[in-house]
C-alpha cells in the first residue's frame, strides 16, 4: 500500500483528472453564469478529463521509465485510443442522443402530455478542442508533479 500511495505517476494522473473536472465546473459557470455541481462528475465538456488523465499517465511514465520503454509505449497507445474514442464513438453517441431527444419532444407535442420518456444523456463525448486542452493539461500536470 505504501508503494501505491508513493506512485507519482498514478497521482499525476489522478490530479490531472480532478483539475480537469474542476475546470469544467468553472467553464460552465463562466458560460452560463450559474453553478452546476453535477459537472464535477459528468463526462463531456471542456476540458476532457479522460484526455488529461491518460496524457498525464503517459507523460509520467515517459518521464520516469523513459521514452524508449515498453511501459511508455503501452501508456501512449492507451492514451491515443481513449482520446480517439472521446472524439469519435462517444461524441457520435451524444449527437444521436440529442437528435433522439429532439424527436421525442416533437412526438410528445403531437401525441399527448402523458407521453414523457426520460431524456437521453447528450454530453458524452468531446470536440477536438476539448480533447486537446485536456491533453495539454495532463502533460502540464505530469511535468509539474513528477519533476517537482
What H or E segment, with its residue span, contains residue 108? helix 89-110
Cis peptide before 141 (omega within 30 of 0): no
- Per-residue confidence (pLDDT) for residue 66, from 0 to 100: 97
Q: What is the pLDDT of residues 43-56, one digit of tens each?
A: 778 899 999 999 99
Domain boundaries, the chain: 2-88+125-146
Residues 6 or more apart in contact with residue 5 via CB below 8 angstroms: none
Instruction: Could you list the beta-strand ranges (E) of the chain.
Output: none
Percent of the residues in the chain that have a pLDDT greater than 90, as a whole number: 56
Q: What is the pLDDT of residues 62-113, one digit of tens each?
A: 999 999 999 999 999 999 999 988 887 766 676 777 777 777 777 777 766 6
Closest CA to 40 of 24, 53, 56, 52: 24
Amino acid at each position: 500500500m505504501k508503494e501505491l500511495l508513493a506512485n507519482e505517476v498514478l497521482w499525476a494522473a489522478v490530479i490531472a483528472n480532478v483539475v480537469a473536472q474542476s475546470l469544467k465546473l468553472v467553464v460552465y459557470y463562466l458560460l452560463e453564469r450559474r453553478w452546476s455541481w453535477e459537472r464535477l462528475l459528468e463526462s463531456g465538456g471542456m476540458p476532457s478529463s479522460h484526455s488529461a488523465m491518460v496524457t498525464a499517465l503517459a507523460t509520467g511514465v515517459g518521464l520516469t521509465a523513459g521514452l524508449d520503454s515498453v511501459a511508455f509505449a503501452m501508456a501512449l497507445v492507451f492514451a491515443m485510443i481513449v482520446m480517439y474514442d472521446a472524439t469519435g464513438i462517444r461524441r457520435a453517441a451524444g449527437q444521436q442522443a440529442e437528435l433522439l431527444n429532439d424527436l421525442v419532444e416533437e412526438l410528445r407535442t403531437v401525441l399527448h402530455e402523458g407521453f414523457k420518456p426520460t431524456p437521453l444523456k447528450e454530453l458524452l463525448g468531446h470536440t477536438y478542442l476539448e480533447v486537446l486542452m485536456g491533453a495539454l493539461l495532463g502533460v502540464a500536470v505530469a511535468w509539474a508533479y513528477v519533476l517537482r
